[in-house]
């Protein structure tokens, strides 16, 4: 092969290599842009799904608050409805916890809505999660996490049970259970009989009194 021909071939090869390298570089740069965009689209879909989930939770929580406020209003009108003396305090605590939960869920929906509609990824959800973790850590450090919730659950559980007697045949019988306390438990758990007569009932009620 002539030197001039070889030189021409090398020139063409170098040019082709340059074009290939340039194309590869352009493709890599484009992928850097496209990958986050695709990821953000997927993330937006996840935010929409979380909004739907939290929307269901908001609806349920609002329903609980409505019924609990009705019970509270009845107690204000007729205090003697409660025979255990715990219900006014417990129902007030339950309403407060449910309001906190409602506020948190509405905040989360707002965060998800903003993130889903944003043209760029926003770390708002991380900020909300971090704030919740700090709140929990403070309560754990202070030794107050769950203390008041467990106390309130024990009060309403004991009031709904009444006095326990051991009958001659060895079976247990509960007498004088507070009807209002049972109504509160039923609203929280949708199954008062299951938990009132269970030794683990207070724990189950405490779970329903969480503000998260």
Instruction: Return the higher-pLDDT residue of 114 and 42.
Output: 114
Helices 179-189 + 3-77 axis angle, to 10 = 170
- Cα–Cα distance, 23 to 30 (Å, whole number): 10
Average pLDDT over residues 172-196: 90
- Cα–Cα distance, 173 to 192 (Å, whole number): 16
pLDDT at 85: 93
- Cα–Cα distance, 67 to 183 (Å, whole number): 10
- 206 pLDDT band, cuts 50/70/90, is very high
Tens digit of each residue's pLDDT (9 = 90 or more) over 108-138: 877 766 765 555 555 555 555 544 444 455 5
- Domain ranges within the chain, ordered by starting residue: 3-208
Q: Is the pTM of this model over 0.85?
A: no
The answer on pLDDT for 211 being more than 80 is yes
Tens digit of each residue's pLDDT (9 = 90 or more) over 64-104: 999 999 999 999 999 999 999 999 999 999 999 999 999 98
pLDDT at 9: 39
Tens digit of each residue's pLDDT (9 = 90 or more) over 142-183: 566 789 999 999 999 999 998 876 777 777 666 789 999 999
Nearest to 54 by CA among 127, 106, 126: 106
The answer on pLDDT for 44 being more than 50 is yes
Instruction: Return the higher-pLDDT residue of 7 and 66.
Output: 66
Helices 87-117 + 124-142 axis angle, to 10 = 150
- Cα–Cα distance, 151 to 145 (Å, whole number): 12
pLDDT at 37: 45
Q: Is 65 within 8 Å of 102 (Cβ atoms)? A: yes
């Amino acid at each position: 092969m002539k030197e001039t021909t070889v030189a021409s071939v090398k020139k063409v090869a170098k040019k082709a290599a340059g074009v290939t390298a340039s194309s590869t570089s352009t493709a890599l740069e484009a992928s850097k842009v496209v990958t986050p965009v695709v990821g953000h689209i997927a993330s937006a879909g996840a935010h929409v799904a979380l909004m739907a989930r939290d929307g269901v939770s908001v609806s349920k929580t609002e329903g609980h608050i409505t019924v609990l406020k009705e019970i509270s209003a009845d107690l204000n009108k007729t205090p003697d409805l409660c025979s255990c003396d715990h219900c006014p305090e417990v129902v007030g605590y339950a309403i407060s916890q449910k309001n906190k939960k409602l506020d948190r869920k509405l905040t989360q929906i707002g965060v998800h809505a903003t993130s889903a509609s944003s043209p760029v990824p926003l770390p708002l959800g991380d900020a909300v999660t971090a704030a919740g973790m700090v709140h929990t850590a403070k309560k754990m450090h202070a030794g107050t996490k769950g203390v008041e919730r467990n106390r309130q659950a024990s009060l309403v559980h004991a009031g709904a049970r009444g006095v326990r007697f051991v009958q001659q045949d060895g079976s247990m019988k509960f007498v004088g259970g507070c009807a209002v306390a049972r109504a509160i438990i039923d609203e929280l758990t949708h199954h008062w009989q299951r938990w009132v007569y269970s030794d683990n009932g207070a724990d189950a009620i405490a779970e329903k009194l969480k503000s998260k």
